[in-house]
Every structure is written in C-alpha cells, then in structure tokens.
Amino acid sequence: AEEVGGGDKDVVKEYFNNSGFQRWKKIYGETDDVNRVQRDIRLGHSKTVENVMAMLKDEGPLRGVTVCDAGCGTGSLSIPLAKEGAKVFASDISAAMVAEAEKKAKEEVKGGVMPKFEVKDLESLEGKYDTVVCLDVLIHYPQNKADGMIAHLASLAEKRLIISFAPKTFYYDLLKRVGELFPGPSKATRAYLHSEADVETALRRVGWKIRKRGLISTQFYFATLVEAVPA
C-alpha cells in the first residue's frame, strides 16, 4: 500500500538534503562528471526550463512580475527569471538545495532582482503571486497528495500556474528505465507518475483550466508541462 501523509515528505526532505542533493546538484549543474543517463536528464530538464521561460515571456516582459518557484531546487528556473527582472520567491523543502540556489544566484544574477530564498515546503507557502511555477516536484508524491498540492498552489496564483510532472502514459517505458534512473529500493527515490486527466481534474475542482500543454522528452526524461489559468 502507498503510504501518504507526513511520512513521504520527511523521507523526501531527508533525501534532498543528503544523497539526493549531491545527485541532483550534479545533474542540474554544468560539470562533466555525469554519466550518460544523468547527461540526458540534464538535457531534458533544461528543455523544460527553456519552455517555461518561453511560456512566461509570451505574455510580455517579466520585469516586475511576481513569480513563486515552489520546490526551486538549485535555482535552474529562478535564476533566469531573476535575470529578466521578475520578482522571484524561491523556496524548497531542502535547506541544502536553497543554499546552493542562493550561492548560484549571487554569482550569476548581475542585473535584475535577486530572488528571495526560503526553506519551506510548498504546503506552507502563503501569499499571492502573478504566477506560480512548480517543476518536477510532483514525481515525489502519489496522486492523492498531489491533488492537495495542486489546489494549494492554485490558491497562491493570481494569473497562472505552471506545473511539470512525469506523465503516466510512459509508465511501462519508464519502469524499464527506472532501475537505471533511481537505483536502490529506497522509498525516497520512488517515482510517482501522474496522468494528465488526474492533474486536470484537480485543477478543475478548484476552478482552473489548462490553457497550454506540452510534452518534453529525451531518452530518460519525460515531463508533461501544463499552463493553467482561472476558468
């Protein structure tokens, strides 16, 4: 049976402060010490970030726009957003991730506005933002937990919500590769896939609809990217 509630979150937090931090910092970084699979995931993830930047810029300049980057990781999205002048509120459940993101931002954001960083799980986020973005976080939670997370994120967004998740369509494909992606039986490294219909239902329940959707894939990376707006 799938365990839900606080348990998952504590395990995920512990993972992203330790081995998961080391692993993902490398994947999201620029160094050459990555294997073939990690390099491929790096490429797929960078495509997701590029697509999100394009979606955001589509609506006009980002200067002064408030963006909440929920589960910001090492700042892969927060930093380019800040460079464009967006007011970024970046948070993550992992203190190690937030520290790394902050360090990178200090090095890389010259013009623009420094993001505000905070160690916080997304369920505790408050306030209102023009746009809320949550990339590649739902993979750590089963759908019944993800529903509540989506509803909460929507409640913080004034204009739009952008979410990426690993699509269930590729379940069997992914299963074959999962061994390579997430070695070991640890619960922390378990990947939960979500069907687009389930995500859409969760959004509809709180009065939001999907305006744009797309699929980003490389050999080992799959993400469905959705942009939702109030219905």
Residues whose CB falls within 8 Å of the CB of residue 141, separated by 6 or more in sequence, listed in order: 8, 12, 149, 192
Minimum CB distance to ligand SAM smaller for 9 or for 83: 9
Minimum CB distance to ligand SAM smaller for 104 or for 140: 140
- Quote the least distance from Cβ 181 to ligand SAM, whole Å: 11
Q: Which tokens belong to 120?
A: 């916080």
Query: What residue is closest to ligand SAM based on CB?
Result: 73
- Quote the least distance from Cβ 12 to ligand SAM, whole Å: 5
Minimum CB distance to ligand SAM smaller for 12 or for 86: 12
Nearest CA to 40 out of 50, 53, 29, 27 is that of 27
Only one residue has tokens 């916080």, namely: 120
- Quote the least distance from Cβ 111 to ligand SAM, whole Å: 22
How far apart CA 133 and CA 75 sit, in angstroms, is 12
How far apart CA 199 and CA 190 sit, in angstroms, is 19
Nearest CA to 16 out of 72, 69, 67, 80 is that of 72
For ligand SAM, the binding residues (CB under 6 A) are: 9, 12, 16, 24, 28, 71-73, 76, 92-94, 97, 121-122, 135-137, 140
Minimum CB distance to ligand SAM smaller for 56 or for 122: 122
- Quote the least distance from Cβ 16 to ligand SAM, whole Å: 3
